[in-house]
Amino acid sequence: MPTPAAERMRRMRARRKTASGVPIFYERADWKLFLDPQTLTQKAGCEPDQIGRVVLKELVDNALDSGAAEVTLIGDGRCCTVSDNGPGLAPETMLRVFAVNRELVSSKLVRLPTRGMLGNGLRVVMGAVAAFGGTISVTTRGHTYELGTDCVTGATKVISSAPATDTAGLTVVITFPHDLSPMRISQQRTGQSASPHSARATPGARCPTGTAPRHCALYWQRHHNE
């Protein structure tokens, strides 16, 4: 005679209660997703062929969000330099914000589709450098720091440091072994002709299509490639 369903469930619950040991679960820290090229774009909120553009956009966004009155971007998807005239960063603060394992924080009260994944900006930048074998250096308050990511802890470490000209603001230089973005910057924010690898964004100005200033770099790459 078949065992009634209720009895089978009772026996199953009894076996579970008497089972020894703790279930094994696989866990992976969130920050590790930034170090894998296959999952980095998931955290960046973009397509795989857009990661180079997102890195440039996030650097410009971060500079404007810091309160800089002027931001200059020179380069392309393989080597770029972003400079601003903001307050700069103290060394300890720099190591904290340029880290993939820091807590997700955002200063944005409104979520816009063009903003990407809120709070992940510099995590995406550092993740891209680690995932694609690039290098990153940050110059601020009289020193240049070459940074790297500890793949075990996710913390950012200083690989080397050297004195630099003490100028206002922050300068970030990133290089990759290959071009992550085939589209190059070729126009200034006003739409006037410029050198093929330079651009400038100033809060309060408007891009050719009326795009907010913080999105100018992304607009130039999409619409002004040579």
- In terms of pLDDT, which residue wins out, 70 or 216? 70
Residue 18 phi/psi, 5° resolution?
A: -90, -5
**Angle CA 128–129–132, to nearest 5:** 75
Every domain of the chain and the residues it spans: 29-180
- Split at pLDDT 50, 70, 90, the class of 49 is confident
- Split at pLDDT 50, 70, 90, the class of 146 is very high
Tokens 């130039």 belong to: 220
What is 11-67 written as a DSSP string?
A: HHHHHHHH--S--------GGGGGG-HHHHHHHHTS-GGGHHHHHHHHHHHHHHHTT
| Whole-number pLDDT of residue 179 | 84
In this prediction, residues 74-91 reach a mean pLDDT of: 91
CATH number for 29-180: choose from 3.30.565.10, 3.20.20.70, 3.90.25.10, 3.10.20.30.
3.30.565.10
The pTM is what?
0.68
Cα distances (Å, whole numbers) of residue 68 to 35, 59, 82, 112 = 29, 12, 12, 22
* Residue 3, burial from CB neighbour count under 10 angstroms (0-12, 13-18, 19+): exposed
In this prediction, residues 122-132 reach a mean pLDDT of: 95
* Chain mean pLDDT for the chain: 76
Residue 195 clears pLDDT 60, i.e. is over it: no
- Split at pLDDT 50, 70, 90, the class of 198 is very low
- In terms of pLDDT, which residue wins out, 217 or 59? 59
- Split at pLDDT 50, 70, 90, the class of 20 is low
Residue 51 clears pLDDT 80, i.e. is over it: yes
